[in-house]
Amino acid sequence: MCVAAWRRWQDWVAVVAGVYAFLSPIWTPTVSKATTTLVILGIVAAVVGLVSLARPGMVALEWVMVVVGVLMFIAPWVIGFTAMAGMAWTAWIVGVVLIVVGLLALPESNRIHHGGLTAQH
């Protein structure tokens, strides 16, 4: 018996959102501080999502995803790129998505952590 890895939709959404943020400077007008912020936070989100897919019982990763989402959401104000509408909206939307999927994954992650959800290979 093992934990059902690679199946949670919340983690897949987080990976896609992270990759979107990471790649968004390709198609969105930007400045270097916005690019750096979205690339770094996007990579972190995608990696955390992938690790969470592989190890779905690691509850702390869901909280890390929520924190990354909050950082992504506040970045346009803190880093100062609200004038770059495309990058700011990307950060706000991806931030909200990461917060929501991180919070939605918490109950299932807790069940897995405590041995409540297992599946055979």
Contact 57, 107 (CB under 8 A): no
Per-residue pLDDT of the chain (121 residues; tens, 9 = 90+): 345 678 889 999 999 999 999 999 999 999 999 999 999 999 999 999 999 999 888 889 999 999 999 999 999 999 999 999 999 999 999 999 999 999 999 988 888 877 765 443 3
Q: Quick one: 1 exposed, middle or buried, by C-beta within 10 A (0-12, 13-18, 19+)?
A: exposed
Q: Which domain holds residue 49?
A: 9-113
Q: How many domains does the chain have?
A: 1
Looking at the domain assignment, is residue 119 inside a domain? no
Looking at the domain assignment, is residue 57 inside a domain? yes
DSSP H stretches of helix in 24-84: 32-54, 59-75
Looking at the domain assignment, is residue 26 inside a domain? yes
The torsion of the CA quartet 56, 46, 66, 73, rounded to 10 degrees, works out to: -170
Looking at the domain assignment, is residue 120 inside a domain? no
Looking at the domain assignment, is residue 3 inside a domain? no
Q: What share of the chain is helix, strand, coil (3-state, %, to 5)?
A: 75, 0, 20
